[in-house]
Structure 1
Amino acid sequence: MTLDQFRPLANRLLDPWVRAAKTVGATPNTVSVAAFGLAVVAAAAFYVGTPAAYAVGAVCVFFNGWLDLLDGALAREVGTASEAGDLLDHVLDRYADVVVVTGAAAGVDAFGLGLAAVTGVLLTSYLGTQAQAVGLDRVYGGLLGRADRLALVGVTAGVAAITPTVAGYSPVVALLVVFAVVGHLTAIQRFVSAWRQLA
């Protein structure tokens, strides 16, 4: 079960944010860029790796995820949803994933683990959109979708802000292990699901 199944509820909660964005004249593309900017700040905070920095990173990751939902909802509301906007959103999401995971890995000096984690994250997202490219519906589910990853990053950063170790282990290192292992398992799960529909 992943958090992506709660997308309809999140969309309803977004209504006041959509109205506010329309009021200030924000466009979906500017919201996408702002979301990416928050991911960069989060990555820098994770690299610094102090308790205060982790707290800042947790907040930035939360708002990155929220704005990532807002850009699509705003585009639908104002009637500007387009393939170009969808492309920009997905490209910035992938770069956000890369910078956040890289910042977290650099902050704990775990570059090899970070590489395994970021490839798991990227392949999960790739398999989700590749299914659409071959004529199936875009896949959001699986063991570890993007909403789940953002939630885990935010919670982990919050824990790291309180204590650098849990039971003798760094919560950030544990997060990277989860992304490395479960990310690749999710990619495989999405591949198998798409393959069965096409075979």
Structure 2
Amino acid sequence: MTLDQYRDTADRLLVPFVSAADSVGLSPNGVSVIAFGFAVAAGGAFALAEPMWYALGAVFVFINGWLDLVDGALAREQGVSSKAGDLLDHVLDRYADIVILVGLSAASGSFVLGLAAVTGVLMTSYLGTQIQAVGLGRAYGGLVGRADRLALIGLVGAASAVYPAAIGAFTLVGWLLVFFAIIGHFTALQRFWGAWSDLT
């Protein structure tokens, strides 16, 4: 189950935000860059590992995720959808994933755990675009897509602002990284197996 399946519903909710972005003269690429800026701010906030900064990081993550939807909807509204814009969006999304997870890794104090998490996340996204590259369409399936990741990061960030202490071996942030490390690679393999079955 993944939040990506609700993209049509999200598109309807985006209408006033798309109209506002269009009215102030923003381009889809401009929105993508602003979204990335919020991801960088989120990573920096999480790295400070203080309750107030966890809360701010959560807000920044939610804004990043919402703007990531706005840029595509704005491109369609303005009739300027392009491969170049899609490329920029995907590149900034991957860097956003990295910088947010690096911030969470700093907060957890375990960069080994962070490395396992970020490779799981990147492989999930890579399989999504690689499946598209071989002609099967963009893959959003699997247990955890990008929308799910951002929602979980935002929720855990907010929860960490209230309860930053460890639960067993890890804090909430540490357990989130464990989850991403395991589920991320599992989702990547799930996408691979689905595509492999379609191709063979």
Decide: shared fold, TM above 0.5. Answer: yes
Which residue of structure 2 aligns with residue 165 of structure 1?
165
Letter in 2 for 1:164: P
**Matched residue of 1:141: which SS?**
coil
Which residue of structure 1 aligns with residue 93 of structure 2?
93
Letter in 2 for 1:7: R
Percent identity between matched residues is 63
Which residue of structure 2 aligns with residue 17 of structure 1?
17
Q: 1:159 & 1:69 partners in 2: Cα distance? A: 24
Which residue of structure 2 aligns with residue 176 of structure 1?
177
Give how far 1:166 is off: 6.1
**Matched residue of 1:164: which SS?**
coil
**Matched residue of 1:144: which SS?**
coil
What does 1:81-160 correspond to in 2, within 5 Å?
A: 81-160=81-160
Give how far 1:19 is off: 0.5
Q: 1:52 & 1:131 partners in 2: Cα distance? A: 40
**Matched residue of 2:29: which SS?**
helix
Count of residues in Structure 1 that have an aligned counterpart in Structure 2: 199
Query: What CA RMSD, in Å, does the superposition of the two structures yield over aligned residues?
Result: 0.8
Q: 1:185 & 1:166 partners in 2: Cα distance? A: 26
Letter in 2 for 1:191: F
Normalising by structure 1, report the TM-score: 0.98
Q: 2:67 & 2:164 partners in 1: Cα distance? A: 29
1:196 aligns with 2:186: no
- Structure 1 gap segments, 5+ residues each: none
Letter in 2 for 1:60: F
Give how far 1:167 is off: 4.1
Normalising by structure 2, report the TM-score: 0.98
**Matched residue of 2:140: which SS?**
coil
